[in-house]
Amino acid sequence: MSKKPFRPSADFLKAIPKTDLHVHLGGSLRLSTLIDFAKKQNVDLPSYTESGLMETVFKKQYSGLAEYLKAFYYTHRVMRDPESLEQIAYELAWDNFNEGVRYIEIRFAPQLNAHRNFTLEQVLATVHKGLERAQKEIHRSAGIASGKEPPFEFGIIGCAMRKFHEKFSDYFHDFIKIHCHTPLKELYPIASLELARALVEARDSLGLPVVGFDLAGEEKGWPAEDHKASFDFAHKNFLNKTVHAGEAFGPPSIFQAVTDLHADRIGHATHLFATEDIDATDPKAKRKYLDGLVQYLGERRITIEVCLTSNLQTIPSLTSISDHPAKKMLEHNLSVTFCTDNRLVSQTTVCNEIAMAQKHFQLDQKRLKDIIIYGFKRSFFPKSYREKRAYVYQVIDYYEAMEKKYLVG
């Protein structure tokens, strides 16, 4: 008799505790909030209705990464003052909790939000204020207050940019003027180091839950190794590292992230198996390089933050979730966690990402549970290791209670 396929209900997927370890603040606004702040701040939008913006900016499908990233031009323009940043962070926390997400790591590039009257430290503190306000409200719920449910926790990840455009940020505009005698390409690593220092300072002096340092932006032609100094600084100050790598380029980008930048996790890694990007003519040499890299990722449990919908929207050659390289990652027993990337720009949720993964990769009950729980284990939890272990055990107990409630009988 064939084994009955595991088909978890939407109610079960919503009920189980979940994480989102790769979610961009600037790509995860509520549409209504974007419209409201755009009107208040006199920011031009292609439309001031939700349906109009869904047609013109935030689509179900994009022509590629370039069109996808254009959406951030509109969102970042309303994220340059304390009121908007705090509200956007507050709403994102609630949006996650309302679908059963118990732990999030919100990432964003503070240098895109900062300006002369709004420092990097103030930007970070403002985002924290919004997240903490939501957290306090969430913790008043009966289940959490009684200790029967795991609480809602969060961490903040600061993103450095491989490259930036001065017109996109007042901070970068002033930064370029200050360093006017330095070649532009050499400025990006300097800005990266400045952010790493600000993140450590915000964590150590302000007590903010800054848990990680990230590198984002165009990969090809803008190598991760250029930012080695900033990641060395983060590494030596016990700040966790995650790097966007393999999203638009192959194994060499991921190799640099884990060797030169000490990456603890990798964002996307969609082109992990793209041997055509390996600089070697001998097929055996390509295979040896890739096998070594996969082995390295596996042995060190370097978790890959997989974003299915986002990848499907930005990589034209990827036409089906079933063809996503996450399938190969799972076959190689690599550590993966399913994330949204951008809730608004990709029109997705954590529940949606997990449901797609379960359906297209035929995850059984045990494999799904392992992946979900490992998201908590490989998180950059902002409290002590002892507190993290206790939190993970509480999450496991609650997950198993949901299994009994929804899957037994």
The CATH number given to whatever domain includes residue 353 is 3.20.20.140
Stated as kind and residue range, the H or E segment containing 24 is strand 18-24
Positive/negative CA dihedral, 372, 374, 376, 379: negative
Closest CA relative to residue 113, chosen from 234, 9, 198, 229 = 198
Write out the DSSP string of 171-232. Answer: HHHHHHHHTTTS-HHHHHHHHHHHHHHHHHHHHHTT---EEEEEEES--TTS-GGGGHHHHH
Note the pLDDT of residue 168: 65
Residue 55 domain-assigned (yes or no): yes
Residue 319 domain-assigned (yes or no): yes
* Mean pLDDT computed over every residue of the chain: 94
Residue 2 domain-assigned (yes or no): no
Residue 5 domain-assigned (yes or no): no
The amino acid that residue 73 corresponds to is: Y
**What are the CA-CA distances from residue 378 to residues 112, 355, 372 (Å)?**
28, 21, 10
What distance lies between CA 82 and its chain's CA centroid?
22
The amino acid that residue 110 corresponds to is: P
| pLDDT < 70: residue spans in the chain | 1-3, 166-168, 409
Give the total number of structural domains in the chain.
1
Angle in degrees, CA 167, 168, 173, rounded to 5: 55
Write out the DSSP string of 287-337. Answer: HHHHHHHHHHHHHTT-EEEE-HHHHHHH-TT---GGGSTHHHHHHTT--EE
128-180 per-position pLDDT tens digit: 999 999 999 999 999 999 999 999 999 999 999 998 776 667 777 777 778 87
Q: Tokens representing 330?
A: 């799972």
Q: Cα separation of 114 and 119, whole Å?
A: 5
Residue written as token pair 């009955």 = 4
Note the pLDDT of residue 222: 85
The amino acid that residue 367 corresponds to is: R
**Domain limits for position 280:** 10-407
Q: Cα separation of 363 and 371, whole Å?
A: 10
Note the pLDDT of residue 409: 56
pTM exceeds cut of 0.75: yes
Residue 1 domain-assigned (yes or no): no
Q: Cα separation of 99 and 354, whole Å?
A: 12
